[in-house]
Amino acid sequence: MGLKRHIPNIVTLLNLFSGCIALIFAVYGNFVAAAIFVFLGIFFDFFDGLLARKLNVQSPLGIQLDSLADLVTSGVVPGVIMFKLISLATDAPDYGSYTDSWNSIFHWQGFKMSVLPLFGLLIALASAYRLAKFNLDEDQQTYFKGLPVPANTLVILSLPLILEYQNSDAMNSIIINKWFLIGITLLSCYLLNSNIKLFALKFKNYRFKDNSVRYIFLILSVVFLIVLHFAAIPLIIALYIILSLLTKSKIA
């Protein structure tokens, strides 16, 4: 029993470790590598709770540790990625020619930083607030109230992946727009802490009648991914919210 109770926490720490590596890559602008380690962290995040239930070793420590790991992997990392994307959209490194009053440059000890990209870090703050509320809310066992932080992270991560792999001038011009990115940031912060009830992908049984919305969501998600690749991710999250709103009377 002694070793068994530590297994889920070890998996949670692997989530945190993956998030730390992703953060390093994000700071250096290697979004693809950052995405790989965030996906790995989300994978560990899915299995730590599952293992805790299967091994019957759930504990208050595990709950708190899980949120701390999620804050890095699914809070700080997407915040830094958004910071970097807004910096790219505003040509922030070109200090000599950029004069937008919304994006003034401040200097400190020889260090220069653009102000507007700091809006991206609001994602980290909103994620921290959402995780703290989640830990205190005993109702969210069979559903979520507000967008889960891993789902929001997938949306943010999809943006640089679309730029890297989709090769679409139309999508690139939308993504590399500072006001679009600011809008996505503010929308993320709202959805993370909204009171919208969203269904959880937890199956009590596998009958279609009892899980129709989950099956429809999963099938459409696979189709979107096959057809649209990384551009499908924001659409899948939008579909998740829409289906939840349409079936909110069944969510409990």
- 10's tokens: 């070890």
Give the mean model confidence (pLDDT) for residues 64-83: 96
* Residue 77 within any structural domain of the chain: yes
Using H for helix, E for strand and C for coil, what is the string for 57-123?
CCCHHHHHHHHHHHHHHHHHHHHHHHHHHHHHHCCCCCCCCCCCHHHCEEEECCEEEECHHHHHHHH
How long a stretch of residues is the chain? 252
For residue 27, being part of any structural domain is answered with yes
- For residue 233, being part of any structural domain is answered with no
Report yes or no on 142 lying in a domain.
yes
Q: Rounded to two decimals, what is the model's pTM?
A: 0.88
Q: Give tens-digit pLDDT for 145-191.
A: 999 999 999 999 999 999 999 989 999 999 999 999 999 999 999 99
CA 190 to mean position of chain CA atoms? 13
Determine, yes or no, domain membership for 46.
yes
Measured distance CA(46)–CA(128) in Å, rounded: 18
Instruction: Indicate the pLDDT class of residue 41, thresholds 50, 70 and 90.
Output: very high
Give the pLDDT band of residue 3 (cuts 50, 70, 90). confident
Residue 128 located in a structural domain: yes
Q: Which domain holds residue 112?
A: 4-195
Which one, of 128, 160, 135, 139, lies nearest residue 233 by Cα? 160
Q: pLDDT tens, 77-123?
A: 999 999 999 999 987 544 444 445 556 666 665 666 778 999 999 99
The total domain count for the chain is 1
Q: Which residue has the tokens 């994000």?
A: 26
Kind of pairing between the strands at 143-145 and 197-199: antiparallel
Does a structural domain hold residue 92? Answer: yes
Q: Does residue 52 lie within any of the structural domains?
A: yes
CATH for 160 = 1.20.120
